[in-house]
């Protein structure tokens, strides 16, 4: 049996004096291409990775929910009320999932749960979605009811909004649920249609590198970008009511508005429209087996973030520049919201040691900050592990 499964089962047994009825596992995810496109109803490519969260779960004879995480002590936390928790904030993720399912009429009851995860927290791999989805899958199995996977993703997202207070997009939960080993997941954020496309290599290493930089204004900068994108879309919808978001704008149409649209809104739109194009081109390149050209799209995406969307920073640019000079690296770009945070690089597994050594050394030499590198492979989406 998988070590993580036996570990989480043992933790459950130690804490609750019996074996769990269900064990689930949900992976972390990484945004590969399609930056800030989700709220513009555009396209994204993402991976589920081989780091995840395991949840061991059993019914309770009491009216309380008891939660234990190997990250946060040895004894379970007893929750008396289904309201957002100030103490032990991590419990908001499982509690939120429970509350949202209950409020949507699903037959959930109080439960005991032990969690183990190896997704680094806050590193850009979405440990929070992995935790929510693992919990959601465990509860549907424990209490024997069905939820459409896309609906479950939305319930988990809602849990994060209302209980953890983080206004995350749906990408994280969708990727954790629908990701597939050695495939990239394509999501259309207008229709929520999704499909997986096989990767041309079984030797692809995913490196997520944290910059150690987090800007205090991330939230306001993010909202500002959303407003700028909406402003650009409104410019077009005034003369064409069929335009709802930047998703409806082709590169040619955008180009024809240069000069008429204010420069900031134009560049923001250029990024979004360009990202949508790159995602569609990227799918074609992967189908043709061309990882080298695919990697170049990652660099173009970063360049567009730097120049057009202005959601990069000197540290992320440095990480991407260093990665670009390392043999065996296909491409590199900032991943997620930006303004600090992490980069994604795609490389061959053989290049992993050289990658880590060069990134760490050169990054610190240039910026004085410290980078952490997490390697992963592309893995399957969430599932019930036991029974």
Q: Which residues bind ligand ADP (CB under 6 A)?
A: 53, 69, 71-72, 89-90, 93, 115, 117, 121-122, 124-128, 131, 166
Nearer to ligand ADP, 171 or 329 (CB): 171
**What is the full DSSP assignment across 76-142?**
PEEE-SSS--SSSGGGHHHHHHHHHHHHTT-----EEEEEEE-SPTTSSS-HHHHHHHHHHHHHHHH
Select from ligand ADP, Mg ion, none the partner in contact with residue 71, using the beta carbon and a kind-dependent cut-off of 5 to 8 Å: ligand ADP
Residue (115 or 286) nearer to ligand ADP, CB: 115
C-beta closer to ligand ADP: residue 88 or 237: 88
What's the closest the beta carbon of residue 192 comes to Mg ion, in angstroms? 20
Count residues contacting Mg ion (CB under 5 A)?
2
Q: Torsion angle, CA of 311/119/329/350, rounded to 10 degrees?
A: 170
Note if 172 is an active site residue.
Answer: yes
Between 20 and 117, CB nearer to ligand ADP: 117
Q: Are 34 and 283 in contact (CB under 8 A)?
A: no
Quick one: what does residue 89 bind among ligand ADP, Mg ion, none, with the CB cut-off 5 to 8 Å set by partner type? ligand ADP
Beta carbons of 189 and 170 less than 8 angstroms apart: yes
Using the minimum distance from each CB to ligand ADP, give the nearer residue, 247 or 333: 333
Q: Helix, strand or coil for residue 20? A: coil
**Tokens 């050695």, residue located:** 182
Which of ligand ADP, Mg ion, none does 117 bind, CB closer than 5 to 8 A by kind?
Answer: ligand ADP
Give the x/- contact pattern for Mg ion in 114-133, rule: CB under 5 A.
Answer: ------------x-x-----
Provide, rounded to whole angstroms, the least separation between the CB of residue 90 and Mg ion: 12
Q: What's the rounded Cα separation, in Å, for the pair 149 and 311?
A: 32
Report the partner that residue 209 touches, choosing among Mg ion, ligand ADP, none (CB closer than 5 to 8 A by kind).
Answer: none
* Active-site annotation holder among 172, 248, 317, 379: 172
Cα 372 to Cα 49, 208, 246, 356, 362, distances in angstroms = 17, 8, 35, 8, 13
Nearest C-alpha neighbor of 36 from the set 211, 258, 267, 204: 267
Q: Nearest distance from residue 129's CB to Mg ion, in Å? A: 6
Q: CB of 117 within 8 A of CB of 68?
A: no
Position 24 contacts Mg ion (CB under 5 A)? no
Shorter beta-carbon distance to ligand ADP: residue 166 or 264: 166
Query: Nearest-CA neighbor of 170 among 150, 185, 142?
Result: 150
Q: Quote the tokens at residue 86.
A: 């100030």
Least Å distance, CB 283 to ligand ADP, is: 26
Q: Which does 245 bind (CB under 5 to 8 A by kind): ligand ADP, Mg ion, none?
A: none
Q: Which of 138, 159, 124 is nearest to 59 (CA)?
A: 138
Compute the least distance from the CB of residue 308 to Mg ion, in Å: 25
CB-count burial class (<10 Å; 0-12, 13-18, 19+) for 66: buried
As measured in angstroms, the least distance from the Cβ of 75 to ligand ADP is 14
Distance between CA atoms of residues 302 and 154, nearest Å: 29
Q: Which residues are catalytic?
A: 172
């Amino acid at each position: 049996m998988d070590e993580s499964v036996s570990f989480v089962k043992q933790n459950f047994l130690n804490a609750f004096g019996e074996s769990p009825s269900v064990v689930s596992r949900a992976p972390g995810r990484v945004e590969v291409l399609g930056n800030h496109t989700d709220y513009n109803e555009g396209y994204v490519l993402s991976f589920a990775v081989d780091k995840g969260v395991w949840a061991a779960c059993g019914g309770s004879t009491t009216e309380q929910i008891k939660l234990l995480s190997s990250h946060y002590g040895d004894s379970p936390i007893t929750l008396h009320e289904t309201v957002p928790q100030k103490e032990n904030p991590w419990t908001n993720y499982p509690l939120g999932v429970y509350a949202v399912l209950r409020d949507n009429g699903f037959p959930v009851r109080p439960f005991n749960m032990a969690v183990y995860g190896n997704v680094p927290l806050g590193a850009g791999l979405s440990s929070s979605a992995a935790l929510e989805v693992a919990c959601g899958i465990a509860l549907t199995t424990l209490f024997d009811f069905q939820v459409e996977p896309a609906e479950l993703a939305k319930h988990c997202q809602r849990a994060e909004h209302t209980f953890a207070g983080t206004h995350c997009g749906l990408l994280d939960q969708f990727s954790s649920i629908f990701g597939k080993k050695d495939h990239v997941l394509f999501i259309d954020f207008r229709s929520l249609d999704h499909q997986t496309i096989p990767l041309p290599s079984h030797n692809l290493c995913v490196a997520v590198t944290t910059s150690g930089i987090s800007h205090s204004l991330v939230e306001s900068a993010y909202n500002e970008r959303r407003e700028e994108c909406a402003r650009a879309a409104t410019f077009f919808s005034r003369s064409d009511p069929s335009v709802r978001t930047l998703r409806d704008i082709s590169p040619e149409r955008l180009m024809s508005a240069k000069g008429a649209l204010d420069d900031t809104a134009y560049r923001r739109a250029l990024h979004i429209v360009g990202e949508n194009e790159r995602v569609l081109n990227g799918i074609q390149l992967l189908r043709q087996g061309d990882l080298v050209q695919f990697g170049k799209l990652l660099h173009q995406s970063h360049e567009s973030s730097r120049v057009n969307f202005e959601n990069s920073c000197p540290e992320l640019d440095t990480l991407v520049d260093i990665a670009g000079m390392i043999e065996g690296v296909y491409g590199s770009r900032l991943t997620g919201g930006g303004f600090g945070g992490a980069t994604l690089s795609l490389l061959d597994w053989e290049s992993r040691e050289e990658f880590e050594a060069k990134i760490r050394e050169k990054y610190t030499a240039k910026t004085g900050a410290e980078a952490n590198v997490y390697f992963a492979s592309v893995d399957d989406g969430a599932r019930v592990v036991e029974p």
